[in-house]
C-alpha cells in the first residue's frame, strides 16, 4: 500500500485530519487498531468549541451537528450552596456546542467511504519505520497477514497509549506530566438533564459535573478514588451522591434512571515536546492530555488538525515547507494555554487528599471572587469557549 500521508488512529484527530487532507486532494490512509463498532461505541467528550464545529462545517459534515447539537451560552460553577453563572455569550460573544464525541466520530466514519477516505480497521501490532528518512512506512498485521504502507509522512493520531510517540528517539523529546490523585466516575442515562447548562460543582465530598448529550440524555460525573471499582457504585448510591454534591437547588432537579454506561477515568496533565520529528508528526492525545475539567481534549485535537492540515496541504499542493517546520511550535503554544486552564479549573474544583482546611478556604475565596468579578468570569469564559487559533 502507498499514500502521501499515513495516519495511525481513527479517533477524532485521525478522522478530522484524514477528511481535511482528502478534501484537498492529498492521498491518505488511516490505520486503526480497533473495529469500527468499537470506535463508535466509545463514550467520551461532550462539549465542542467553534474550532471543532468550524472544522466540521468546512468539511461539509455539520448537518447533523447543526440539527441536533445544543448551543450553550453559559455554564454554572457550584460551591456547595450557590450557583455562579459564567455568561459565555455576554462575556465573549461566543458559545459552545453540546454534541457527543461519539456522534462526531460516527458522522466522520459514515462519510469516509463516499469521500474516498480509506480506513483500515482491526490493524494489529502497528509499527513505525524510518521516521528520520523521506520514505517512512507503517507495518502491521491484518487477519494474521503482514502488511506494509509506504508514505511520505506519518501522523500519530493514536491517543495516549499508541506507538507513535514511543517511536520518537528518546534523546529528542521531553515529557511534562502531572497525575492527579483521583479519577472521574461517569454515568450516562436517558433522563432529562437537571439544568439547561453544565454545572461544575465543588462540594466538601468532592467534585461533581452535571452534563448532557441531548434534552433527553444526561451525563454526570463525580470525583472518585483512583482505585474505585464501578461495582461499588449501584445506580442508587451514585445518584444519591450526585444529588448531594450538586447542592440543594440543582440536586433537587436531578432525574434518576438506569445507567446506560458507568466507568472510571483517571485524570492527567501531559505534554510531549516536540510534536514533530523527521517525517513523523503527532496530533491530539498522542502528544498531550488534559484533565477533562476544562472540556479541552477533543478541541485540542481539532486545533492540532487545523495547523497540521494547513501545513501538509502547503507541502503537497504549493511545495511550501514552512508550515511543517513551525507546526510543533504553533500547536504547542495553544496546547500549553489549554493545559494551564484545565489544570487551574481542576485545582479549583476538586478535593485533594493532601488539602488542609486552608486550601479549602482558598478554593471558596476564589469562587467568591469569581462570583463578584466580571474580569475573573471573563477569563474563565474566554478559555472555556476556546482561545483563538
What residues between 194 and 233 interact with ligand PHB by CB under 6 A?
A: 198, 211, 219
The residue range among 87-95, 274-282, 291-299, 370-378 that interacts with ligand PHB, by the rule CB under 6 A, is 291-299
Min dist CB 100 to ligand PHB, Å, is 8
Question: Is 135 in contact with 148 (CB distance < 8 Å)?
Answer: no
Q: Interacting stretch for ligand RFL, rule CB under 6 A, among 25-33, 82-90, 315-323, 336-344?
A: 25-33
Residue found under cell 475565596: 365
Among 180, 231, 254, 240, smallest CA distance to 205 is for 240
Closer residue to ligand RFL in complex, CB, 79/285: 285
Catalytic option among 163, 203, 292, 350: 292
Q: Catalytic one among 19, 72, 203, 350? A: 72
How far from 215 is each of 88, 197, 202, 357, CA to CA, in Å?
20, 11, 24, 38
Q: Calculate ∠ Cα 35-154-137, nearest 5°.
A: 85
Please tell me whether residue 222 binds ligand RFL under the rule CB under 6 A.
no
- Smaller CB distance to ligand RFL: residue 37 or 319? 37
Rounded-to-integer distance, Cα 201 and Cα 240, Å: 15
125 vs 216 by CB, closer to ligand RFL: 125
Applying CB under 6 A, does 11 fall inside the site for ligand RFL? Answer: yes
Q: Which of 99, 180, 200, 221 is catalytic?
A: 200
122/105 Cα distance (integer angstroms): 17
Cα first-last separation, the chain: 35
Q: Which of 220, 221, 307, 384 is catalytic?
A: 384
| Binding mask of the shown chain, residues 48 to 87, with x at each position contacting ligand PHB by CB under 6 A | ----------------------------------------
Judged by CB under 6 A, the residue of 7, 13, 86, 264 near ligand RFL is: 13
CA-wise closest residue to 17 among 58, 67, 50: 58
Contacts to ligand RFL from residues 262-281, by CB under 6 A = 265
The answer to whether the CB of 73 falls within 8 A of the CB of 88 is yes
**Residues in Cβ contact with 148 at an 8 Å cutoff, skipping those fewer than 6 apart:** 1, 137, 138, 139
Instruction: List active site positions.
Output: 72, 200, 292, 296, 384
Which chain residues interact with ligand PHB by CB under 6 A?
45-47, 198, 211, 219, 292-293, 295
Amino acid at each position: 500500500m502507498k499514500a502521501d500521508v499515513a495516519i495511525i488512529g481513527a479517533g477524532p484527530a485521525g478522522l478530522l485530519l484524514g477528511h481535511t487532507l482528502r478534501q484537498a486532494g492529498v492521498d491518505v490512509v488511516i490505520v486503526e487498531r480497533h473495529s469500527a463498532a468499537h470506535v463508535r461505541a466509545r463514550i467520551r467528550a461532550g462539549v465542542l468549541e467553534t474550532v471543532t464545529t468550524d472544522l466540521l462545517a468546512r468539511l461539509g459534515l455539520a448537518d447533523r451537528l447543526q440539527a441536533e447539537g445544543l448551543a450553550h451560552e453559559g455554564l454554572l460553577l457550584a460551591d456547595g450552596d450557590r450557583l455562579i453563572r459564567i455568561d459565555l455569550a455576554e462575556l465573549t460573544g461566543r458559545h459552545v456546542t453540546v454534541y457527543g464525541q461519539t456522534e462526531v466520530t460516527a458522522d466522520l466514519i459514515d462519510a469516509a467511504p463516499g469521500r474516498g477516505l480509506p480506513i483500515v480497521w482491526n490493524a494489529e501490532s502497528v509499527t513505525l519505520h524510518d521516521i528520520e528518512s523521506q520514505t517512512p512506512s507503517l507495518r502491521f498485521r491484518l487477519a494474521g497477514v503482514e502488511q506494509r504502507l509506504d508514505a511520505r509522512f506519518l501522523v500519530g493520531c493514536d491517543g495516549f497509549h499508541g506507538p507513535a510517540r514511543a517511536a520518537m528517539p528518546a534523546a529528542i523529546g521531553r515529557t511534562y506530566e502531572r497525575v492527579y490523585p483521583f479519577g472521574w466516575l461517569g454515568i450516562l442515562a436517558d433522563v432529562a438533564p437537571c439544568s439547561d447548562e453544565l454545572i461544575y460543582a465543588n462540594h466538601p465530598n468532592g467534585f461533581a459535573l452535571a452534563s448532557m448529550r441531548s434534552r433527553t440524555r444526561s451525563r454526570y460525573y463525580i470525583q472518585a478514588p483512583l482505585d474505585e471499582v464501578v461495582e461499588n457504585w449501584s445506580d442508587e448510591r451514585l445518584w444519591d451522591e450526585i444529588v448531594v454534591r450538586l447542592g440543594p437547588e440543582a440536586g433537587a432537579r436531578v432525574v434518576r434512571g438506569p445507567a446506560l454506561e458507568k466507568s472510571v477515568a483517571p485524570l492527567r496533565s501531559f505534554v510531549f515536546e516536540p510534536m514533530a520529528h523527521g517525517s513523523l508528526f503527532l496530533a491530539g492525545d498522542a502528544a498531550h492530555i488534559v484533565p477533562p475539567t476544562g472540556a479541552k481534549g477533543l478541541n485540542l485535537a481539532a486545533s492540532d488538525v487545523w495547523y497540521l492540515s494547513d501545513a501538509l496541504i502547503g507541502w503537497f499542493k504549493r511545495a511550501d515547507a514552512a508550515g511543517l517546520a513551525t507546526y510543533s511550535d504553533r500547536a504547542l503554544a495553544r496546547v500549553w494555554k489549554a493545559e494551564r486552564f484545565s489544570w487551574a479549573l481542576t485545582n479549583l474544583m476538586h478535593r485533594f487528599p493532601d488539602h488542609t482546611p486552608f486550601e479549602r478556604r482558598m478554593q471558596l475565596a476564589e469562587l467568591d471572587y469569581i462570583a463578584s468579578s466580571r474580569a475573573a468570569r471573563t477569563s474563565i469564559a474566554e478559555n472555556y469557549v476556546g482561545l483563538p487559533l
